[in-house]
Structure 1
Amino acid sequence: MTSRSSGATARTSSEARAVARTQTLLPGKDGIGTVRRTTLPGGLRVVTETLPSVRSATFGIWAHVGSRDETPALNGATHYLEHLLFKGTRRRSALDISAAVDAVGGEMNAFTAKEYTCYYARVLDTDLPLAIDVVCDMLTGSLIREEDVDAERGVILEEIAMTEDDPGDCVHDLFAHTMLGDTPLGRPVLGTVDTINALDRSRIARFYKKHYDPTRLVVAAAGNVDHATVVRQVRRAFEKAGALSRTDAVPTGPRQGSRAIRAAGRVELLNRRTEQAHVVLGMPGFARTDDRRWALGVLNAALGGGMSSRLFQEVREKRGLAYSVYSYTSGFADCGLFGVYAGCRPNQVHDVLGICRDELDRVAAEGLSDEEIARAIGQLKGSTVLGLEDTGALMNRIGKSELCWGEQMSVDDMLARIGAVTPDDVREVAGELLSRRPSLSVIGPLKDKQADRLHRAVA
């Protein structure tokens, strides 16, 4: 009797350790900013960052699925599904979901990207249990009814139309296609009119079942939260839905891959009757795990990241050729993009493009001055800290870090990595990246002669 009891106790303790496999990832200072992770059975990870000085909390669930996980016929399914999870569960109608959060003055939303999807709610700290229950219910108990699929189709088609009416937004989708072609990363997150019209309830439901497994989810909460309490509430919500039954499941790790972008000299023009021509000139960048991303961030800030940047000064301040001009980077698991955007009058697009090319070529050949690099490092440090001043940003940081990197980096460590970038690091990255032959995407009212010149501009 005693022996059997001891054995049962040992097994229970072992199972309890598996259930409560909790780690302190970042210790914080005096308990402030402490980041912890617990892995529950079923492979569900829960990460929190504690900030006792605030009265709010943001709770989110990150899904390891984005538009790059879609086949051509399923293009837009991830974003479609994001909409449908708000349409009702076994316990709540669509109105119940929105009314529950509205009633406590909170905000709830979601977003879909090429490699992940996130659902979140920001509430007062006292209302965090409600936010956890509602968001977990959406993720585990969605009904995905046929009538909701049909009704939401019109909403998504309107969203696609709205995006196409904004050429300053649409040109970035065009640039992704220019660089990545007809591949999952090159296709639009929203899908197209044809693919959205072709999607039906059964295909979306299968997509949901495949990709919303607990092993592919990360729960993140930040603000005035207690880690053990959040874990307990999340576990209760998922167990209620029967979603943690696989005790031997292992969490899905960060994406792996070796995609290389070899786009050079590609040009895509979309003729639209717009008041401005919208231009993106760019080339392959670095994957988000590449150690050179820190130097690239400094280079990006100096080139087109602020009002003192090269491109802003040359294109807008000195010549007045554009209102909006900037550079940006996009990093994926296995590749990246670097682009320069400008919006200008159609008859000035060649002048703007010529100046941008000249500056990129000059920086590739000569590098940036030490003063420009020091200013860019300071700008990047400041924007990093200021961008983490609310609980929503903190939740995004820890959730995305767990999903995409499988580890957490403290703000101090991030600032140290930025501060460690040397002028030689930036010049080396500039010489490698900016010397590549660029590709070009343009939306605007272009005449035939202009189109010919734009093709020659990247030759």
Structure 2
Amino acid sequence: MQKITPLVMIAFLGASSVYFSARSKGNPPPVKAEAPAKVEAAPSSEAKPEAPAATAANEPIKATPWPQEASDIAADPKTVFGTLPNGMRYLIYPNSEPPKRVSLRMHISAGSLMEADDQQGLAHFLEHMVFNGSEHYKADELVPRMQRLGVGFGAHVNAFTSFDQTVYMLDLPELSDDVLDLGFTVMRDFGDGALLGAEEIDKERGVILSEKVSRDSVQSRIQEKQFEQFLPGSLIAKRFPIGKEEIISKAPRERFVDFYKSYYVPSRMPFIVVGDVDPKDLEARITKAFSSMKNPEKPGANPDLGPVKSPEGLETAVFTDNEVESTDLSLMTVRPYTKKPDTIENRIADMPLYLANSMIDRRFERLSKRENSPIVAGSASKDAVFNHVELGGISVTADDSRWQEALPMLEQEFRRALLHGFTASEFAEAKANLLNAYEQQVKSKASRKSESLASGIAQTINDGSVISTPETDLEIAKKGLETITPEACHAEFKKFWGDAGTHLILTTKQAPDTAKADLAAIYQESLSKPVEAPAASQSAAFAYTTFGTPGKVTRPKQIAALD
């Protein structure tokens, strides 16, 4: 069964990016590399932002290490990792599906969290502006040039801005020199060649404001309420990527240039290539395109995201919105996140809680199928948010807004797991499902598409995951599952939740004024009722062991029209 995530979790974890697609408009020692070839360049009335004061000549930048350098997990041996003297890291992964194509990703380790108070929304605005005039293209030249070479806009050229990252994506339809030259020239221009013309900025303000209106969704509104509730005093609650209307409307060019020069720097700019390519050829292209980029003397720093306050006891909250499509109840805990290296030991250490959450998912699935059940779905999870917050959640979706009936079921199943743990049969099922998921990844390895691989690799940049093979992942999973027991899953579940304060959240269309007090009262009443250990179930033998006498083919007949 596909896991159904309630809106309260979707909004918190998922509604964090603002997307843009290019559209037509009526729009050893350091290596000294050549500048990228100019492609149909034309004189521009806008000057390129003044280059930042560079670091000392020929002084290599200390680059961020790749995750495997601090891990006992081997990186996929097909992957070529490299670092230029200016600190720019790159990764090349040969992949022949689809053949004769390549996907490029430029990951900027900066998003709306890096904005100053008077720059709110400019990280996303910049994502638009790099398409609107650069060192090699006038504002109205880039998209037509791409179209002439078969690089479509929309599906092939787009980008997104999140709280902590901006990612530019090009999926090239062929490997000709013209197309590759275009792709690398465009990516270099994104990195430090945007003109950021004042006239073009003014033209784009209305586009951004329209996008802000269009993104006023129920998910974004609920997310804002959540951040205010869960992260009071944190910068995260004040830096939504779409930004502030007054800043989008009036920010001067200088504030765009400041963000661009401070954060679009080689040391924050891993470059990813996945496709049907020769890594040596691509390394040469990367070196030629990006080695001449400079780092400023004082690059932008990561901000202090502020405190993460865990709730004390039970704290209730009610989020209402007329566009909410379901009524959800969630128990959530929030705590500071401690980043750990991606190692075999740490991967295995995470497995018991994952299995425990999977077993709770399965319990809610069974409960939702009972006659007249007050819930239609339920789930349990643990997630890290921006490497700053650790979030745990146990949620149910109420049937037909019957949240008063659903809440005791949520509380009692949560308490049942805390007090009594899990049965051997539940564990066997969860273990088999997890193992099967890893096995399916191995089986589907050869059919992985370059576009998806490139985007997936880009998403590992901030979380520090080793890019290991599906076979390695399976091997680690098998090693962990050999020793993990139902008792270990119970212990990890208690460790995560036992002493934690919790938020109890109701998300619904409308709620009475007494809803917060009602939540607390119903929850406390449910606590007074005992919960029994889950009943152990026995695996039944497969009912069908014989299928009768096999039939015989008496007369074959070939129909030519069906060949």
* TM-score bin, normalised by smaller chain: 0.7 to 0.9
Cα gap change, 1:390 to 1:324, in 2 (>3 Å): farther
Match of 1:130 among 176, 182, 202: 182
3-state DSSP class of the match of 2:171?
strand
Q: 1:352 and 2:398 equivalent?
A: no
The Cα shift of 1:163 comes to 3.7
Amino acid at match of 1:210: S
The residue aligned with 2:234 is 183
Cα deviations by residue, 1:184-238 (Å, 9 ceiling, x for unpaired): 2334333344554564432232111111110111001112122222232233333
**Contact preservation (8 Å) 1:59, 1:121:** yes
Match of 2:501 among 418, 437, 440: 437
Match of 1:96 among 123, 141, 145: 141
3-state DSSP class of the match of 2:514?
helix
Q: 1:273 and 2:322 equivalent?
A: yes
Structure with larger Rg: 2
Counterparts in 2 of 1:27-426, with a 5 A limit? 34-52=78-96, 54-55=98-99, 56-102=101-147, 103-105=150-152, 107-126=156-175, 127-167=179-219, 170-187=221-238, 188-193=240-245, 196-197=248-249, 199-239=251-291, 242-244=292-294, 260-264=308-312, 265-274=314-323, 276-284=326-334, 287=338, 289=340, 291=346, 292-304=349-361, 309-315=362-368, 319=372, 321=374, 325-331=378-384, 332-340=386-394, 344=398, 347-369=401-423, 370-378=427-435, 380-381=437-438, 389-405=448-464, 407-419=466-478, 420-421=480-481, 422-423=484-485, 424-426=487-489
The Cα shift of 1:303 comes to 3.5
Cα gap change, 1:362 to 1:273, in 2 (>3 Å): same
Q: Stretches of 4+ moved more than 6 A in 1?
A: 21-26, 249-259
Q: Counterparts of 1:210 and 1:145 in 2: how far apart (Å)?
A: 18
Cα gap change, 1:24 to 1:203, in 2 (>3 Å): closer
**After alignment, is 427-436 or 279-288 more displaced?**
279-288
The Cα shift of 1:43 comes to 0.7
Q: Counterparts of 1:368 and 1:175 in 2: how far apart (Å)?
A: 31
Cα gap change, 1:326 to 1:107, in 2 (>3 Å): farther
The Cα shift of 1:245 comes to 7.3
Q: Counterparts of 1:76 and 1:317 in 2: how far apart (Å)?
A: 48
Amino acid at match of 1:34: K
Identical amino acids, percent of aligned pairs: 18
**Contact preservation (8 Å) 2:396, 2:410:** no
The residue aligned with 1:450 is 515
3-state DSSP class of the match of 1:115?
coil
The residue aligned with 1:10 is none
**Contact preservation (8 Å) 1:363, 1:434:** no
Q: Counterparts of 1:138 and 1:144 in 2: how far apart (Å)?
A: 11
**After alignment, is 429-438 or 217-226 more displaced?**
429-438
RMSD: 4.1
**Contact preservation (8 Å) 2:328, 2:398:** yes
**Contact preservation (8 Å) 2:104, 2:171:** yes
**After alignment, is 120-129 or 92-101 more displaced?**
92-101
Structure 2 unaligned regions, length at least 5: 1-27, 33-57, 70-75, 525-563
**Contact preservation (8 Å) 2:333, 2:501:** yes
Cα gap change, 1:67 to 1:16, in 2 (>3 Å): closer
Instruction: Say which structure is richer in helix.
Output: 1
Q: Counterparts of 2:183 and 2:317 in 1: how far apart (Å)?
A: 44
**Contact preservation (8 Å) 1:37, 1:48:** yes
Amino acid at match of 2:288: R
Amino acid at match of 1:124: P
Q: Counterparts of 1:317 and 1:98 in 2: how far apart (Å)?
A: 55
The Cα shift of 1:89 comes to 1.3
Cα gap change, 1:380 to 1:365, in 2 (>3 Å): farther
3-state DSSP class of the match of 1:92?
coil
Q: Counterparts of 2:370 and 2:254 in 1: how far apart (Å)?
A: 54
Q: Counterparts of 2:365 and 2:223 in 1: how far apart (Å)?
A: 19
The Cα shift of 1:327 comes to 4.2
The Cα shift of 1:74 comes to 3.7
Cα deviations by residue, 1:147-176 (Å, 9 ceiling, x for unpaired): 443444443344443443334x54345334
Amino acid at match of 1:149: I
Amino acid at match of 2:310: R
Q: Counterparts of 2:495 and 2:199 in 1: how far apart (Å)?
A: 53
Cα gap change, 1:41 to 1:253, in 2 (>3 Å): farther
- For normalisation by structure 1, the TM-score amounts to 0.78
Cα deviations by residue, 1:94-116 (Å, 9 ceiling, x for unpaired): 55333444433561222223322
**Contact preservation (8 Å) 1:257, 1:333:** no
The Cα shift of 1:364 comes to 2.5
**Contact preservation (8 Å) 2:275, 2:450:** yes
Amino acid at match of 1:224: D
Cα deviations by residue, 1:373-407 (Å, 9 ceiling, x for unpaired): 31442365267666992213322343343454285
Cα deviations by residue, 1:309-363 (Å, 9 ceiling, x for unpaired): 3334434666565666544443132432123455556742333344333322222
- For normalisation by structure 2, the TM-score amounts to 0.65
**Contact preservation (8 Å) 1:107, 1:123:** yes
Structure 1 unaligned regions, length at least 5: 1-12, 27-31
Cα gap change, 1:207 to 1:368, in 2 (>3 Å): farther
**After alignment, is 398-407 or 369-378 more displaced?**
398-407
3-state DSSP class of the match of 1:185?
helix
